[in-house]
Protein backbone atom coordinates (compact mmCIF):
# COMPACT_ATOMS: atom_id res chain seq x y z
CA UNK A 1 0.00 0.00 0.00
CA UNK A 2 1.34 3.42 -0.97
CA UNK A 3 2.14 5.96 1.69
CA UNK A 4 -0.34 8.90 1.36
CA UNK A 5 2.27 11.49 2.44
CA UNK A 6 4.65 10.50 -0.39
CA UNK A 7 1.80 10.71 -2.89
CA UNK A 8 0.90 14.19 -1.61
CA UNK A 9 4.55 15.30 -1.85
CA UNK A 10 4.74 14.12 -5.49
CA UNK A 11 1.64 16.15 -6.37
CA UNK A 12 3.19 19.26 -4.80
CA UNK A 13 6.44 18.76 -6.76
CA UNK A 14 4.54 18.48 -10.03
CA UNK A 15 2.65 21.71 -9.35
CA UNK A 16 5.86 23.61 -8.52
CA UNK A 17 7.07 25.60 -11.53
CA UNK A 18 10.65 26.39 -12.39
CA UNK A 19 11.25 30.13 -11.82
CA UNK A 20 13.14 32.04 -14.48
CA UNK A 21 14.66 35.47 -14.58
CA UNK A 22 12.38 37.35 -17.00
CA UNK A 23 15.08 39.93 -17.73
CA UNK A 24 17.48 37.15 -18.81
CA UNK A 25 14.75 35.70 -21.03
CA UNK A 26 14.14 39.12 -22.66
CA UNK A 27 17.92 39.74 -22.76
CA UNK A 28 17.74 43.13 -21.01
CA UNK A 29 21.18 44.66 -20.55
CA UNK A 30 20.08 47.21 -17.93
CA UNK A 31 17.02 48.38 -16.00
CA UNK A 32 15.96 51.96 -16.71
CA UNK A 33 14.69 53.99 -13.73
CA UNK A 34 12.07 55.62 -16.00
CA UNK A 35 10.60 52.27 -17.10
CA UNK A 36 7.86 52.19 -14.46
CA UNK A 37 5.96 49.29 -16.05
CA UNK A 38 8.98 47.00 -15.68
CA UNK A 39 9.88 48.23 -12.18
CA UNK A 40 6.33 47.97 -10.84
CA UNK A 41 6.37 44.21 -11.57
CA UNK A 42 9.12 43.88 -8.94
CA UNK A 43 7.12 45.80 -6.29
CA UNK A 44 4.60 44.36 -3.86
CA UNK A 45 1.15 45.84 -3.25
CA UNK A 46 2.73 47.72 -0.31
CA UNK A 47 5.28 49.22 -2.75
CA UNK A 48 8.14 47.19 -1.29
CA UNK A 49 10.81 45.54 -3.43
CA UNK A 50 10.06 41.83 -3.87
CA UNK A 51 12.89 39.42 -2.97
CA UNK A 52 14.51 37.06 -5.46
CA UNK A 53 12.78 34.01 -4.00
CA UNK A 54 9.39 35.36 -5.18
CA UNK A 55 10.32 36.77 -8.58
CA UNK A 56 13.01 34.24 -9.62
CA UNK A 57 15.32 37.04 -10.75
CA UNK A 58 19.05 36.32 -11.00
CA UNK A 59 21.53 38.16 -8.75
CA UNK A 60 22.80 40.47 -11.49
CA UNK A 61 19.35 41.64 -12.58
CA UNK A 62 17.99 41.87 -9.03
CA UNK A 63 20.77 44.34 -8.19
CA UNK A 64 20.00 46.34 -11.38
CA UNK A 65 16.27 46.41 -10.62
CA UNK A 66 16.85 47.37 -6.97
CA UNK A 67 19.15 50.25 -7.92
CA UNK A 68 16.68 51.43 -10.59
CA UNK A 69 13.75 51.34 -8.13
CA UNK A 70 15.76 53.27 -5.51
CA UNK A 71 16.76 55.88 -8.09
CA UNK A 72 13.16 56.12 -9.29
CA UNK A 73 11.97 56.60 -5.70
CA UNK A 74 14.52 59.36 -5.22
CA UNK A 75 13.21 61.09 -8.37
CA UNK A 76 9.66 60.79 -7.03
CA UNK A 77 8.40 58.43 -9.75
CA UNK A 78 7.70 55.47 -7.44
CA UNK A 79 6.44 55.54 -3.83
CA UNK A 80 8.56 54.40 -0.89
CA UNK A 81 5.58 52.84 0.94
CA UNK A 82 1.83 52.51 0.44
CA UNK A 83 1.36 55.59 2.67
CA UNK A 84 3.33 57.73 0.24
CA UNK A 85 1.02 56.54 -2.52
CA UNK A 86 -2.03 57.77 -0.54
CA UNK A 87 -0.46 61.17 0.14
CA UNK A 88 0.30 61.56 -3.56
CA UNK A 89 -3.40 61.09 -4.34
CA UNK A 90 -4.32 63.77 -1.80
CA UNK A 91 -6.31 61.54 0.54
ZN1 LIG B 1 18.71 37.73 -15.03
Would residue 7 count as lying in a domain?
Answer: no
Domain of residue 64, CATH code: 4.10.640.10
Q: How far does the centroid of ligand 1 lie from the alpha carbon of residue 72, in Å?
A: 20
Q: Which domain holds residue 67?
A: 30-91
Whether residue 16 is contained in a domain is answered as no
CA of 42 to the centre of ligand 1 (A): 13
pLDDT at 19 over 70: yes
Q: Given a cut of 80, is residue 68 above it in pLDDT?
A: yes
pLDDT at 52 over 70: yes
Predicted local distance difference test score (pLDDT) of residue 72 = 96
Residue 67 lies in a domain: yes
Query: Which residue did the predictor score with more confidence, 29 or 85?
Result: 29
Q: Is residue 58 part of a domain?
A: yes
Question: Could you tell me which residues come within 8 angstroms of residue 18 by beta carbon, excluding any fewer than 6 positions away?
Answer: none
Task: Give domain status of residue 69, yes or no.
Answer: yes
Overall domain count for the chain: 1
Domain annotation covers residue 73: yes
User: What single DSSP character describes residue 1?
Assistant: -
Which pLDDT band holds residue 88 (cuts at 50, 70, 90)? low
pLDDT at site 82: 83
How far, in Å, from the CA of 16 to the mean position of ligand 1?
20
Amino acid sequence: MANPTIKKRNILNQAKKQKRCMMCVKQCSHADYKDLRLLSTYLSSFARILPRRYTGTCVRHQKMVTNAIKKSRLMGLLPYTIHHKQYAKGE
